[in-house]
Amino acid sequence: MKGLIATERVCLIGHIGAMVFGVAGLLLVLPHPDFVINLSPIGQMFFQLGMSGGGVIHILLGATAVAIYAYRNLGVRLWLTFMVPAVLLSLGSELLGTSTGFPFGHYRYLSGLGYKIAGLVPFTIPLSWFYMGLVCYLLARTALQKVAIGNWLRQIAAIALGAILLTAWDLVLDPAMSQTTFPFWQFQEIGAFFGMPYRNLTGWLGTGALFMSVATLLWGKTPIVLTRPQLNLPLTIYIVNFAFGALITVGALDARFWIPTALSLFLGVVPAIIIWWVTKPSRENEKDIPPDAGSLIPVAPLEVAAK
């Protein structure tokens, strides 16, 4: 178990480091080509490799860190019954979107995110849906674990909240990845919502809610009760991925993009922090858990340094 914890931490640190490198490259280096020209041949080679493969690396490391976290804290069954539907259904949604324009609007992926499945969707994209989807869903489940309502109502509310947290992240991700000087995908229609079509947002809500619903059905009545230390990794993943998109959005685009950034902050980051803060630091007060929660799954303690 210690080896898994160490690997998880290494992947988390690498995930954050790759995003810091990406932000620095996109905002500080690429706009100043003289810097790259003055590098040694080896330096130029490493910089080009980093910029061309940085997106793939940060997604792979993030997905690996969250997969290990899920294995340790939820067990193999719950981990796989979330990851498999998330990957397959999001891939199907992306293939449909890039082929027909439904449900996100007409768009296409450019280079920089790895091999494209069917020549349309980079293989890393479904992995990003998985790892961000799971951290959003776990935060949502935790927020509602003590609410005195029926179990099914609680699960439906968790799906809705999880999909909202996931879509809130997209408010900064899409502008950063599609409207800057060096985009990774491109909308083929001018959207009314800061360059994005409104159906892109409903597509995000629908896709997230779909695979979270399937996972909820597969998880059944198994309750998920996490403590504040166990939410350290989900919160860290959510915040650093928000920061990645937000820094690029506000740093590379004009002042009007502060609006979707502020919306992302208040609809996503602030609720995520509040959920973490109000969560019990330990499982000492299990009497607070709703009476219909059933038997608790054993969850190992987790300590992750945010930075």
Q: Which residues pair with 108 in a beta bridge?
A: 186
Parallel/antiparallel/unpaired status of strands 116-117 and 121-122: antiparallel
Chain mean position to CA 40:
36
CA-to-CA distance for 203 and 97, rounded, in angstroms? 9
Residue 291 burial class via C-beta count within 10 angstroms: exposed 0-12, middle 13-18, buried 19 and up: exposed
Token pair for residue 38? 């003055």
Whole-number pLDDT of residue 6? 97
Residue 266, token pair as written in the block = 């208040």
> 221-269, pLDDT tens digit by residue?
888 889 999 999 999 999 999 999 999 999 999 999 999 999 999 999 9
Does residue 103 have a cis peptide bond before it, meaning omega lies within 30 degrees of 0?
A: yes
Contact indicator for 112, 55 with CB cutoff of 8 Å: yes
Distance between CA 90 and CA 305 in Å, rounded? 30
Per-residue pLDDT, averaged over 170-199, amounts to: 93
Model's pTM, two decimal places? 0.89
**What pLDDT is recorded for position 222?**
87
Q: HSE, CB side, 13 Å, CA atoms: give it for residue 40.
A: 2
Kindly state the tokens that stand for 116: 């494209």
Q: Collapse the DSSP code of 296 into the 3-class scheme (helix H, G, I; strand E, B; otherwise coil) and give the result.
A: coil
